[in-house]
Chains A and B, each alone.
Chain A
Amino acid sequence: MLRKFVDLITSLKLTIVCLAAAMALIFAGTIAQVHLGIHEAQQRYFQSLFVWWPPDGRGFKIPIFPGGHLIGAVLLINLIAAHAKRFHWAWRKLGIHLTHAGLIIMLAGGLFTDLFAVESHMRLSQGDTKNYTEDPRLMELAVIDTTGPEFDQVTAIPEALLRRKRTIKLGSLPFQIVVRNFFQNSRLRMLSEATNGAQPIANQGPGAQIAVESVPRATGVDDRDVIAAAIEIVPIDFATGATAPSLGIWLVSDALGAPQTFSCAGRTWQLVMQSARYYKPFSVTLQKFAHDRYAGTEIPKNFSSRITLIDPERAVNRDVLIYMNHPLRYRGETFYQAGFQKDDQASILQVVHNPSFIAPYVACVIVAAGLLVQFGYHLVGFSRRRRTALA
């Protein structure tokens, strides 16, 4: 039984099947971008164990094809297991060992990047200082206790929980949040402009004057969903754990600009739907954004951001120039010049935290060294044989 299993995971056939499945997946995933958009297609096809198919009108999903993570992992297991099984140390095989090791590092690095890398943005107007980056494709409901004179305590609830959970109860909040409605993508209209007797889904704050309409998910590269939810705030008695009468229902959406305020348990709270934030132990100030053009034309020559990096923990306060192909690497994060606002007044830095960013470089060097050794070995052997034959 074990032997059969080992034969299976070390077989070349499995490698071929995986490579063929990967080709089919890439083809299907590319076509799917037409309807799903690049990010959704990427998640469904490549960043998943299976590609799921939900039959129309049914409440369940069926896995119909292995996803990118599964194919990659099987390929990695296959490569390592085959190598481990057939491993036999000899100097003449050094090149093959090195090449395999490089491929393993490359595959593992790809998988780790997919699993652990975090990409976010930092949008800074000239003079702005921020100590957080944002993921524009991931929203969170921030429930902020603003009572303290010096600090705000933020409880950030990711959209995935709002989508899945009906009731959210947390130790840091003296109330529970009941999700009444959730819209993955929505259009908000003032009640006075809405048709067909639309009703508000909230009874507190500006949401009481707004009609929410569900719309299909955004698929364009630059489009994104407008998430909306109706949430009810139900106070909890700390001593007994019993719930008190509801304070009302609020509409939360990133389409509503300002935070909404309410009071509970003698404290002041704010609700705001915002892009997911990643706070950093350092801050970045945009001193100047430059958009250089070739003289006499509108053709861009260079984009650059002069920023000030301030890190109190490490006693760092320095100016850094970030421009094309010259990112700032700091504390495991890489800041690239990614974009700018049309009026050149704001710069957009892409911030990537990728613990395994070094893997492809290492893998390429090892594979190159392995191939050199392997071909070099054969070349030397060949020329020796030729010399002997000639002699």
Chain B
Amino acid sequence: MRVVGSRAASVSFVAIVVLMSGCDKADDQIKVYRIAKAPLDSTSPADADAAMPTNAASPAFPAGVAPTGATGAKTPPNWELQPPSQMRQASFLVKGENGSAADISLVVLGTAAGNVLENVNRWLSQLGQPAVNAEKLADTVQHLSTPRGDVVVVDLAGVPENGDATKDGRIIAAMAPEEGKTAFFKMRGNPALVGAQKEVFLKWVSSLRRAPDTSNAVDSSASRPDSGHAQIEFDVPEGWASAPPSAMRYASFTAVGGSGEKADVSIVTFPGDGGSDADNINRWRQQIGLPAADAAALNSMVVPIKSRDTGFFVVDMTGANSRVLAAWARRDGRTWFFKLTGPSSVVEKEKPKFVKFLQSVRF
């Protein structure tokens, strides 16, 4: 018993010493992070338009819903695109006669979006109207069949106290639940104008499709060899030989090292944003046998480089057997990826050429 007690005492001592040595307040850690330039949304739920139980300060669009430009829907010409807000996926203003106006928005919320009754009652309260019960709700809602499934539509009227009748008095809202999220389409404004725009609004709701999930996309996806009609020009460094083209690549080159080892240079382009930087870098890390890194670590790896008419972001990562230098630029709605991959010694030798090559790119 005595021996056991002594052992336990020694173990507790060691455990606390180890714990103490691992403790460190990160007061001298360098932090690298990105912050959105757009102002933070400050809409209170008590405010009239605060309808939704959340906003979206996150810069990323929720999976499953496309950003405005990628929704594939034609926006009516008289809808004026509004500056992006962090809460809204899309925002428009439509103007009518005598200063009347209506505000149109698309907001996507998580599971806490609430049920149809809660949302309808919230909209009713915004219009200064009494709440309805589940029975009455059945008379209020309509169902619209769209490519994204069944969408619940309500058309509510009423002017709140001190409301401006030229800009308020009617709400047409559509709710489309999908994969744990709910897309809210809402038009609120002058009753006559909202009525006139109802058909166009519902067409817009019907025509919006879900965005493809691009989180794992980019150059590993064999289904997107599209380079469109986009063209770029560049100066091929001396010593690089053109490699046979492939369906995926815009251009390929091979660089040969001193010992005959080869490094591969590729240019790939995709429409859209080409997936998040973090996903792409982590995929490249995986390709050379490195573990995934967190966002802060990834941000600290990215180095900006200026070419003749655009800016690239570049990462340089070395795995056990190979090294990759990857650069990307987003330009005119497309993303361009430039990669140099190969044995570390060859990549090291070719790095200055690769940087010059990037700097020579002309869009």
Binding site for B on A (CB under 8 A): 2-3, 5-6, 9-10, 69, 73, 76-77, 80-82, 84-88, 115-116, 127, 129-131, 138, 145, 147-158, 160-161, 164, 168, 170-172, 174, 238-240, 265-267, 279, 281-283, 285, 287, 308, 310-319
Interchain CB contact under 8 A, B27 and A158: yes
Distance A180 CA – B285 CA, assembled complex (angstroms): 37
A-B contacts, 7 of them at CB < 8 A, read A80-B16, A171-B303, A266-B311, A308-B45, A310-B42, A313-B110, A315-B111
Interchain CB contact under 8 A, B40 and A315: no
Interface string of B33-62 (1 = CB under 8 A from A): 111111111111110001011111111000
User: What residues of chain B lie closer than 8 Å to A156, measured between beta carbons?
Assistant: 30-33
User: What residues of chain B lie closer than 8 Å to A285, measured between beta carbons?
Assistant: 40, 42, 44
B314 at the interface (CB under 8 A from A): yes
Distance A150 CA – B35 CA, assembled complex (angstroms): 9
B35: contacting residue among A152, A168, A311, CB under 8 A:
A152
Are A9 and B9 CB-contacts (below 8 A) given A315-B109, A319-B46? yes
Distance A170 CA – B111 CA, assembled complex (angstroms): 40
Interface string of B2-18 (1 = CB under 8 A from A): 00011011111100110
A340 to chain B, nearest CB (A): 20
Interface string of B139-163 (1 = CB under 8 A from A): 0000000000000000000000000
B362 at the interface (CB under 8 A from A): no
A54 to chain B, nearest CB (A): 20
Distance A30 CA – B306 CA, assembled complex (angstroms): 56
Are A317 and B28 CB-contacts (below 8 A) given A239-B351, A265-B305, A266-B304? no
A276 to chain B, nearest CB (A): 8
B242 at the interface (CB under 8 A from A): no
User: What residues of chain A lie closer than 8 Å to B356, measured between beta carbons?
Assistant: 239
User: What residues of chain B lie closer than 8 Å to A283, measured between beta carbons?
Assistant: 40-42, 57
User: What residues of chain A lie closer than 8 Å to B37, measured between beta carbons?
Assistant: 148-152
User: What residues of chain A lie closer than 8 Å to B355, measured between beta carbons?
Assistant: 238-239
Interchain CB contact under 8 A, A150 and B54: no
B134 at the interface (CB under 8 A from A): no
A238: contacting residue among B46, B113, B305, CB under 8 A:
B305
Closest residue of B by beta carbon distance from A277: B31
Scan residues 326-363 of chain B and give those whose CB is less than 8 A from a CB of chain A. Answer: 351-352, 354-356
Interchain CB contact under 8 A, B55 and A161: no
A11 to chain B, nearest CB (A): 11
User: What residues of chain B lie closer than 8 Å to A308, measured between beta carbons?
Assistant: 42-46
Distance A155 CA – B57 CA, assembled complex (angstroms): 21
B300 at the interface (CB under 8 A from A): yes
User: What residues of chain A lie closer than 8 Å to B303, measured between beta carbons?
Assistant: 171-172, 174, 238
Scan residues 72-103 of chain B and give those whose CB is less than 8 A from a CB of chain A. Answer: 86
A267: contacting residue among B5, B27, B53, B311, CB under 8 A:
B311
Distance A318 CA – B54 CA, assembled complex (angstroms): 8
A-B contact count (CB 8 A): 197
User: What residues of chain B lie closer than 8 Å to A3, measured between beta carbons?
Assistant: 6
A114 to chain B, nearest CB (A): 9
Interchain CB contact under 8 A, A158 and B34: no
User: What residues of chain A lie closer than 8 Å to B56, measured between beta carbons?
Assistant: 312
B47 to chain A, nearest CB (A): 9
User: What residues of chain B lie closer than 8 Å to A84, measured between beta carbons?
Assistant: 5, 8-9, 11-12
B38: contacting residue among A77, A86, A150, A279, CB under 8 A:
A150
User: What residues of chain A lie closer than 8 Å to B23, measured between beta carbons?
Assistant: 115-116
Interchain CB contact under 8 A, B54 and A311: yes
Closest residue of B by beta carbon distance from A115: B23
Distance A384 CA – B285 CA, assembled complex (angstroms): 74
Distance A151 CA – B34 CA, assembled complex (angstroms): 6
Distance A10 CA – B42 CA, assembled complex (angstroms): 57
Distance A77 CA – B18 CA, assembled complex (angstroms): 12
User: What residues of chain B lie closer than 8 Å to A266, measured between beta carbons?
Assistant: 304-306, 311
Distance A88 CA – B34 CA, assembled complex (angstroms): 56
Interchain CB contact under 8 A, A82 and B9: yes
Are A312 and B58 CB-contacts (below 8 A) given A84-B12, A239-B351, A285-B44? yes
B222 at the interface (CB under 8 A from A): no
B126 to chain A, nearest CB (A): 14
Are A172 and B42 CB-contacts (below 8 A) given A138-B27, A317-B54? no
Distance A349 CA – B193 CA, assembled complex (angstroms): 45
B20 at the interface (CB under 8 A from A): yes
Are A154 and B34 CB-contacts (below 8 A) given A84-B5, A174-B304, A316-B54? yes
Distance A388 CA – B355 CA, assembled complex (angstroms): 96
B112 at the interface (CB under 8 A from A): yes
Interchain CB contact under 8 A, A315 and B32: no
Distance A285 CA – B86 CA, assembled complex (angstroms): 14
Distance A161 CA – B29 CA, assembled complex (angstroms): 8
Distance A285 CA – B35 CA, assembled complex (angstroms): 17
Interchain CB contact under 8 A, B57 and A131: yes
Interchain CB contact under 8 A, B40 and A129: yes
B314 to chain A, nearest CB (A): 7
